[in-house]
Structure 1
Amino acid sequence: MKMNDLKKTIQDFFQDGTVTIIGSGLSIAEGLPSMGDLANELDNKMTTFLKTADEKKIWNEISERFDEGVGLEETLHEVKPTKNLEQKIRELTANYVRSKEDQALKRVILENDSFRLSAYLMRFNIRNNGLTIITTNYDRLIEYSCELVGLRVDNLFVGKYFSRYLPNQSKYSFCVGVKKRKKKQAVEFAPKVTILKPHGCLSWYIVNNEPIAAPMIREDDCLIITPGANKYREGYNEPFDSQRAKANDSIDSAERFIIIGYGFSDDHLETHLRKQILSGKPTLIFTHTLSEKANEIVKNFSNVTAFTHDNLGTKIINIEAETILKKVNLWDIGEMVKEVFNE
């Protein structure tokens, strides 16, 4: 495919009906920890919190698997931690991710830098229905990326400092006026991005048995689902349950997908996402390296094209072939936007 044709193909995804799915790859590119980094952090810090001989035995088994190169997700499925260990994993994860998020935000604010996603978002003409992003990440980099370029964020909570979870009401907080259209009145909404987080967020807590979002609180007992078998149990509590349901509804109603740094490893979303890709919905994947599951999807579905890192530039993969595009980093969405839209 010629470069101009390739650019046109990508540009056609930047319109109404596109749902963006974002995994940890985007956050890693901004300096946040990978699963490997998180495993090392847990292994280094957890020994301080082990209370019983049983917990020490369980953690030794987990640590041994880390040493053998087994990933965090797989390890915590094989060796089930106690309730106390689960809680400590959640707290250490939140603290570690938050510390790295702070560094990324300071870089943007103090060094006049920018997040990759901001330029990506600005290429959409966001209308009343807004743009939907689904992410398995806990951090707030997507929210920051939106507001840094003047796009409002709908996280299904209502309020500013102590927001209540009101998924059926949040959209009305973006009303900016009423216009007459053909003798009828129509509500006008500010451009917004709806961000759905089925695995939770560093800002979410339970207060008086109710989910709230409070960005000024920095406690580590926030509402996040960490890797392991517990994530399937936790996923059916609020707000995770309705976040997942709305994410799946968005996937089902999407016309096309842009998938950024996501490895297709979350069963909460996979049933719907795979079904919609199988139905033929056009899909672009931008990632440094394809996971095994992502590679299987690319190799089996003609409507999927992946852009991945290559030492020479970008490797473009689809069901028919693999092509190397030299000296162009289309796999990185920041570079992709510059190249595709001639910025």
Structure 2
Amino acid sequence: MGELSTYLLEKMETDGDAEVDAWLRVRTALASGDHLEAALEGKTLPDSLLSKIVGLTWRCVNDKDMRLLEAAAYNGDFALGTLLANMFSSTHSEIQVVTTNYDRVAEFACNSKNVLFQTGFAPGYIQTWESTGRVKLIHGIKAARVVKIWKIHGSLDWFRTADDRTIGLPVFDLPSKDRYTPLIVTPGLNKYEKTYEDPFRTTINGADTALTNASAFLCVGFGFRDQHIHPKLIERCRERNVPTVVLARTLTEEAKDFLKNKAGTNYLGIEKCGAGSKIYSPATPEGTDVTAANLWSLDGFNNLVL
């Protein structure tokens, strides 16, 4: 969230004493070293300021999303798409992707390799919320292989209309705030309040089921700071000792604690270390340096396992 923090600090324009005072508390927390989640957590912010945070967050993530779409459409060289397509070289008919990100990386990845996906919305330009089980995709006469994407914090293309409808709009410009409110759950005091209603409630329930029944976990760039996800990971690892791989440019302290103390005895963690990589395993819980570069990235991981 470092880049998002910088973006908010650079772009935020406050109005009135209430917004100025509230944003000053957030800026002070960030300046003292808190990450964005911690800086916003527990603070009562004016609704007008929360709306600005949501809008700026949408724009920040959307800028990169557009570039990713161009790359995916240009040559289809998308590491996540390659991984997902190869995972279907098996008897599996579904792959479960649980993400806290608002971006459409998983969707672009599927499209880059002609893999079908579902997010709970009906296909189209104006998408209606259909939950996760009501739309069935068929390939020929058989049920299609599908990646189910559980976006527990919402998505750039999810919106609540002024007349209180939930719709999906695959857009790259933020629609009028008077008519559409982005359905993304930003860090802070109201983070969990939004999750009691759809589409979040159904999505979180689906994600819980996916995590509870998982036979293995591959975590990419996950910081293990989200109370919606990592308790389920810990529970499954304790119950079944399922194989778990965690990849990140820099593993957070929470991720390292998970690997060392909660992931069981069948795990692998990889992060960038200088020009090489550092690998964590039950045999080397404090990590060991290797000269192989980019093993922590999906490209590097794909080269290792595919």
TM-score > 0.5 by shorter chain: yes
Q: Which residue of structure 2 aligns with residue 232 of structure 1?
A: 192
Secondary structure of 2:228 counterpart = helix
Alignment of 1:56-205 (within 5 A): 56-110=20-74, 112=75, 114-125=77-88, 129-172=93-136, 174-178=137-141, 188-205=142-159
CA distance in 2, matches of 1:230, 1:215: 25
Q: CA deviation at 1:286?
A: 1.4
AA partner of residue 154 (structure 2): G
Letter in 1 for 2:305: V
Distance 1:123 1:325, change over 3 A: farther
Mapped to 2, the partners of 1:41 and 1:168 lie a distance apart of 33
**Counterpart AA for 1:190:** A
Q: Provide closer, same or farther for how the CA distance between residues 171 and 113 of structure 1 changes in structure 2, counting only shifts above 3 A.
A: closer
The residue type equivalent to 2:9 in the other structure is D
CA distance in 2, matches of 1:332, 1:165: 34
In the alignment, structure 1 residue 282 sits paired with structure 2 residue 282? no
Q: Distance in 2 between matches of 1:241 and 1:87?
A: 21
Q: Kindly state the Cα deviation for residue 113 of structure 1 after the two structures are TM-superposed.
A: 6.4
Query: 1:169, CA displacement in angstroms?
Result: 4.1
**Relative to 1, partners in 2 of residues 1:164 and 1:217: Cα closer, same or farther, differing over 3 Å?**
farther
Pairs aligned (count): 294
Cα 1:168–1:152, aligned 2, differ >3 Å: closer, same or farther?
closer
How much has 1:170 moved relative to structure 2? Answer: 4.2
- Counterpart in the other structure of 1:31: none
Q: Which amino acid aligns with 1:46?
A: M
CA contact (8 A) 1:119 1:334 kept: no
What is the percent sequence identity of the aligned residues?
A: 28
How far does residue 268 in structure 1 lie from its aligned partner after superposition?
A: 1.4
Does the C-alpha gap of structure 1 residues 270 and 214 become closer, same or farther in structure 2, counting only changes over 3 Å?
A: same
8 A contact 1:151–1:192 mirrored in 2: yes
2:93–2:144 Cα contact (<8 Å) kept: no
Q: Deviations over 1:79-135 (max 9, x none)?
A: 33111111110011001111121123224445x362221221122126563111011
User: Normalised by the size of structure 2, how large is the TM-score?
Assistant: 0.90
2:284 paired with 1:329: no
Distance 2:82 2:172 in 1: 29
SS of the equivalent of 2:12 reads helix
Contact 1:128–1:190 (CA under 8 A) maintained in structure 2: no
Which SS does the other structure have where 1:153 is aligned?
strand
RMSD (CA atoms): 1.9
Q: Letter of the aligned partner of 1:140 in structure 2?
A: R
Amino acid at match of 2:221: G
Distance 2:65 2:232 in 1: 30
Match of 2:230 in 1: 270
Alpha-carbon offset, residue 241 of structure 1: 0.9
Q: Relative to structure 1, is the Cα distance of residues 108 and 246 closer, same or farther in structure 2, using a 3 angstrom cutoff?
A: closer
Tell me the CA shift for residue 295 of structure 1: 0.5
Amino acid at match of 1:310: C
SS in 2 for 1:212: strand
TM-aligned CA deviation for residue 294 of structure 1: 0.9
Residues in 1 aligned to 2:30 and 2:101: alpha-carbon distance in whole angstroms? 22
Offset at 1:78? 4.2
- Counterpart of 1:40 in structure 2: which amino acid? T
State the match for 2:178 in structure 1: none
Indicate the SS of the match to 1:156. Answer: coil
Contact 2:100 2:152 in 1 (8 A): yes
Mapped pair 1:210 → 2:165: yes
CA contact (8 A) 1:128 1:189 kept: no
Paired residue secondary structure (1:306): strand
Give 1:289-308 correspondences, 5 Å limit: 289-300=250-261, 301-308=264-271
Counting only pairs closer than 5 Å after superposition, residues 240-279 of structure 1 correspond to structure 2 as 240-279=200-239
Q: TM-score, normalised by structure 1?
A: 0.80
Contact 1:244–1:269 at 8 Å: present in 2 too? no
What's the CA shift for 1:331?
A: 1.1
Structure 1 position 177, deviation (Å): 3.9
Kept in 1: contact 2:66–2:172 (CA 8 A): no
Unmatched tracts of structure 2, length 5 or more: 176-180
Greater RCO (CA < 8 Å, at least 6 residues apart): 1
Per-residue CA shift, 1:248-271, capped at 9, x if unaligned? 011111111111110111111222
